[in-house]
């Protein structure tokens, strides 16, 4: 029987259709991949529930998903670094490779990046996709396909820790204990942070954070950011040198600034409202550097090495598993917000053991 290409296609908000799409052929320098695992990201859920994120609007039917791993099923012309059958993680943003940012090595800032499942580019919640061969990362045998898919959000966390300068001995504050905050907390510890405190407005998310390694959990039950900063400082036994906001919430960004030690760094990972009120003079006169984060750059291999060497265990974050055929149920579960990471098995039914 010929292979078909079942795909989860978003037509407009709240309208995902499971359709058979053509199997894409790899172009020069690309490989075709039989997708194995695809995680659901908050951005996928936003496109599903709202039909847009910022200026990116779903105008044409778009295949969802960008946190994926799979098996190379065909080589396009000129590909020499991979073979059919290789298990790979897929870095889902291909920059232009020519602009000043690409040439300068910060390709995540490329204005012409093609990012999977960002309109109008199709994503990887499908049986088969194609990808530039140098954005595929071969998985060693001790790294599972699900872990390969987790490299995408882990790369955000690894990159954020690099931007923030997390190193041995630092005290670190993380605001927000969603998948990204949890991975940032775990990465900070793997980077040698002495102690990491994490905040959230949800006690259940904090309880989960404690289970996966947070040293201190702090319930954000007040919008008084200076009071929260006192609590964070008390928990850590001193002010954090580095704070990473992974919530996008105004009061959390305020907390990150107030809490951070003079001369330290606040890293903005969370993307909330486009404009927020922050104590900018407090940051200025204490020389607290505020640094943005946009996705990641040259981070996939580091993230992979951290999993392969056992420095990070991402498996407990996968709290729900479904098959590609059950995508609609998965998105309903994602909207309820009780899961940390939902993983979708995109492999063909004959391959599922």
Q: Which residues form the interface with Zn ion (CB under 5 A)?
A: 95-96, 99, 102, 110
- List the single partner that 148 binds among ligand NAD, Zn ion, none, CB under 5 to 8 Å by kind: none
Q: Does 152 bind ligand NAD (CB under 6 A)?
A: no
Candidates 126, 243, 251, 327: give the one binding ligand NAD (CB under 6 A).
251
Q: Quickly tell me which residue has 């670190």 as its tokens.
A: 172
* Residue 87 or 163 with smaller CB distance to ligand NAD: 163
Q: Does 93 bind ligand NAD (CB under 6 A)?
A: no
* Residue 50 or 103 with smaller CB distance to Zn ion: 103
Tokens of 4: 């078909």
* Residue 86 or 152 with smaller CB distance to ligand NAD: 152
Distance in angstroms between the alpha carbons of the first and the last residue of the chain: 19
Separation of alpha carbons 265 and 322, rounded Å: 39
- Positions in 25-84 near ligand NAD (CB under 6 A): 42
Candidates 10, 79, 88, 177: give the one binding ligand NAD (CB under 6 A).
177
Which are the contacts of 21, defined by CB distance < 8 A and separation ≥ 6?
A: 5, 7, 9, 63, 126
- List the single partner that 156 binds among Zn ion, ligand NAD, none, CB under 5 to 8 Å by kind: ligand NAD
- Positions in 277-336 near ligand NAD (CB under 6 A): 293-295
Which are the contacts of 138, defined by CB distance < 8 A and separation ≥ 6?
A: 82, 86, 87, 88
212: helix, coil or strand? coil
Least Å from the CB of residue 43 to Zn ion: 21
* Residue 95 or 181 with smaller CB distance to Zn ion: 95
Q: How far is CA 189 from CA 98, 168, 182, 184, 320, in A?
A: 36, 9, 11, 9, 25
Least Å from the CB of residue 52 to ligand NAD: 14
- Find out whether 95 and 71 touch, Cβ atoms under 8 Å: no
- Positions in 191-230 near ligand NAD (CB under 6 A): 199-202, 205, 220
Least Å from the CB of residue 236 to ligand NAD: 16
Candidates 151, 249, 306, 324: give the one binding ligand NAD (CB under 6 A).
249
* Residue 92 or 95 with smaller CB distance to Zn ion: 95
269: helix, coil or strand? coil
Least Å from the CB of residue 71 to ligand NAD: 26
Helical segments of the chain, H only: 42-50, 100-103, 145-164, 179-190, 203-211, 225-236, 250-259, 280-285, 300-308, 327-336
Here the contacts of 234-239 (C-beta below 8 Å, separation 24 or greater) are: 235/197, 236/171, 236/173, 236/195, 236/197, 237/171, 237/195, 238/171, 239/171, 239/264
- Find out whether 44 and 165 touch, Cβ atoms under 8 Å: no
- List the single partner that 96 binds among Zn ion, ligand NAD, none, CB under 5 to 8 Å by kind: Zn ion
Count of residues in contact with ligand NAD, rule CB under 6 A: 28
- Give the DSSP letter of residue 126: B
**Of the ranges 1-9, 114-122, 175-183, 344-352, which one interacts with ligand NAD (CB under 6 A)?**
175-183
Candidates 26, 92, 181, 264: give the one binding ligand NAD (CB under 6 A).
181
Residues of this chain that interact with ligand NAD (CB under 6 A) are 42, 156, 175-181, 199-202, 205, 220, 246-249, 251-252, 269-272, 293-295
């Amino acid at each position: 029987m010929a292979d078909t290409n079942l795909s989860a296609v978003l037509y407009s908000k709240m309208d995902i259709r499971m359709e058979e799409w053509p199997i894409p052929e790899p172009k020069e320098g690309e490989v075709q991949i039989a997708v194995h695992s695809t995680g659901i990201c908050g951005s996928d859920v936003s496109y599903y529930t709202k039909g847009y994120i910022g200026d990116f609007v779903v105008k044409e039917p778009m295949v969802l998903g960008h946190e994926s791993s799979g098996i190379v099923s065909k080589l396009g012309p000129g590909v020499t670094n991979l073979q059919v059958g290789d298990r790979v993680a897929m870095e889902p943003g291909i920059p232009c490779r020519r602009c000043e940012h690409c040439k300068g090595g910060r390709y995540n800032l490329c204005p012409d990046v093609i990012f999977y499942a960002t309109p109008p580019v199709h994503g990887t919640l499908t049986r088969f996709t194609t990808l530039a061969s140098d954005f595929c990362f071969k998985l060693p045998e001790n790294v599972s396909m699900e872990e390969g898919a987790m490299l995408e959000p882990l790369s955000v966390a690894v990159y954020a820790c690099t931007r923030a300068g997390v190193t041995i001995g630092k005290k670190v504050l993380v605001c927000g204990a969603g998948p990204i905050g949890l991975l940032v907390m775990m990465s900070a510890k793997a980077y040698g942070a002495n102690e990491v405190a994490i905040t959230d407005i949800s006690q259940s998310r904090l309880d989960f954070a404690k289970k996966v390694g947070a040293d201190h959990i702090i319930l954000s039950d007040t919008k008084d950011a200076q009071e929260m900063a006192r609590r964070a400082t008390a928990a850590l036994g001193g002010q954090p040198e580095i704070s990473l906001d992974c919530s996008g919430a105004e009061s959390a960004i305020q907390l990150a600034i107030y809490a951070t030690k003079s001369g330290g760094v606040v890293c903005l990972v969370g993307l909330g409202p486009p404009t927020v009120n922050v104590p900018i003079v407090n940051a200025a006169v204490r020389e607290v550097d505020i640094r943005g984060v946009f996705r990641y750059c040259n981070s996939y291999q580091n993230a992979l090495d951290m999993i392969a060497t056992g420095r990070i265990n991402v498996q407990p974050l996968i709290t729900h598993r479904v098959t590609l055929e059950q995508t609609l149920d998965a998105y309903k579960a994602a909207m309820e917000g009780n899961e940390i990471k939902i993983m979708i098995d995109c492999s063909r039914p004959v391959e599922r053991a």
